[in-house]
C-alpha cells in the first residue's frame, strides 16, 4: 500500500487529512511537528507524499521542507504544503524551499485530490 505522512500540530487536521488520504488509497502516518515528522519519515521509509502544515511548534513546515530537500535519502519525497498562509510571497517561499505544491486551508476533498493529481501521486 502507498504511504503518506501528515505533519500538523492540529490533531483535528491530522485526523481529517488522514481520513481523506485513506479514501484515496494511502496508509497514513502522523507527526505533530517537523522534527517528529523527519523521524517518522526516516523510520517508515517509502513515504510517497508528505502533507505539511506551515505553522507548528518546534520545527515549522518551511524548515521541515528544507531539511527534507537537504537529506539525500528523503529529497525525492513529494511535499504538499497545507497551510492557512495564502500570501503570494509565502507560497513562493515554500515552493522555493522545495514544496511541490501548496494548498490553502480550508480546502475540500476534491481540491486535495486535484493537487495530488497535479503532483502525479493520484492517477487522473
At 62-79, the pLDDT tens digits run 999 999 999 999 999 999
The domain segmentation of the chain, as residue ranges, is 2-113
Q: What is the DSSP string of the chain?
A: -EEEEEE-S-HHHHHHHHHHHHHTTEEEEEESSHHHHHHHHHHH--EEEEEE-SS-SSS-HHHHHHHHHH-TTTTTSEEEEEES---HHHHHHHHHHT-SEEEESS--HHHHHHHHHHTTSS--
Report the topology of domain 2-113: Rossmann fold (3.40.50)
> Using 50, 70 and 90 to split pLDDT, how confident is the model at 43?
very high
Amino acid at each position: 500500500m502507498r504511504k503518506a505522512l501528515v505533519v500538523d500540530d492540529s490533531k483535528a487536521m491530522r485526523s481529517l487529512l488522514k481520513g481523506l488520504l485513506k479514501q484515496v488509497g494511502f496508509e497514513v502516518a502522523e507527526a505533530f511537528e517537523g522534527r517528529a515528522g523527519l523521524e517518522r519519515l526516516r523510520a517508515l521509509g517509502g513515504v510517497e507524499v508528505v502533507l505539511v502544515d506551515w505553522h507548528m511548534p518546534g520545527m515549522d513546515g518551511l524548515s521541515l521542507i528544507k531539511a527534507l530537500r537537504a537529506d539525500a535519502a528523503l529529497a525525492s519525497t513529494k511535499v504538499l504544503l497545507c497551510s492557512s498562509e495564502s500570501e503570494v510571497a509565502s507560497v513562493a517561499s515554500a515552493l522555493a524551499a522545495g514544496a511541490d505544491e501548496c494548498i490553502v486551508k480550508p480546502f475540500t476533498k476534491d481540491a486535495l485530490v486535484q493537487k495530488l493529481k497535479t503532483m502525479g501521486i493520484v492517477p487522473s
